[in-house]
């Protein structure tokens, strides 16, 4: 018999985070993990601990689906991975995701198809945009940071044996790795 394990992600924009925690407490969770998000790329240590605690037969309970993934693709990946581990996922407030029911599986399958469709559309639009740009004589992609002038300067500094890679990089406004990729190195470099 599996357990209910709760996960809450509380953002700084939440007006009343206690609603989320109360709902999980009322759902008979053996344990509730809570992360406080301070930014879009915030580390989620409690989420990682929650993943480590989930066992086959357990059900992960979340307040709303937006607490689980940052976007639809992220949500699909998380739920698919948990399903493969034998872990169910249930959303308490919107009932959209409940992988233990036939309806939940159907809706989730539709989500997955929409995410694949969206990814295919983005790829198609990107390729069409690049083809149109090439037809106008433009190349896609970001301009390289190392111009021929900067490459020459970096090479001369390197060849003079008076500068470290870090100093050369700082002088050119790039990282040492960019310098390593750009110039010819024939001697052991100093850091």
Active site residues per annotation: 11
The contacts of residue 43 (CB under 8 Å, 6+ apart) are none
Q: How far apart are CA 32 and CA 50, in angstroms?
A: 8
Alpha-carbon distance 161 to 183, whole Å?
14
Q: Which of 186, 187, 184, 165 is nearest to 176 (CA)?
A: 165
Helix count and strand count (H, E) for the chain: 7, 4
Contact 61, 6 (CB under 8 A): yes
Report how far residue 158's alpha carbon sits from residue 166's, in angstroms, rounded to the nearest whole number. 11
User: What does the angle CA 161 – CA 165 – CA 169 come to, to the nearest 5 degrees?
Assistant: 120
Other Cβ atoms less than 10 A from the Cβ of 183: the count is 22
Q: In 3-state terms, what secondary structure has residue 103?
A: helix
């Amino acid at each position: 018999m599996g357990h209910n394990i709760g996960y809450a992600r509380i953002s700084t924009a939440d007006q009343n985070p206690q609603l989320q925690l109360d709902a999980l407490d009322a759902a008979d969770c053996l344990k509730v993990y809570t992360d406080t998000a301070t930014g879009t790329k915030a580390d989620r240590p409690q989420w990682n601990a929650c993943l480590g605690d989930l066992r086959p037969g357990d059900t992960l309970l979340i307040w709303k689906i937006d607490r689980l993934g940052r976007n639809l693709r992220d949500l699909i990946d998380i739920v698919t991975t948990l399903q493969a581990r034998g872990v169910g996922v249930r959303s308490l407030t919107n009932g959209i995701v409940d992988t233990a029911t036939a309806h939940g599986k159907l809706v989730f399958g539709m989500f997955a198809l929409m995410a694949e469709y969206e990814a295919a559309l983005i790829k198609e639009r990107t390729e069409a945009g690049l083809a149109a740009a090439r037809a106008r004589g433009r190349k896609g992609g970001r301009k390289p940071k190392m111009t021929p002038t900067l490459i020459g300067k970096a090479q001369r500094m390197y060849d003079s044996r008076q500068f470290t890679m870090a100093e050369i990089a700082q002088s050119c406004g790039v990282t040492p790795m960019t310098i390593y990729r750009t110039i010819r190195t024939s001697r052991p470099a100093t850091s």
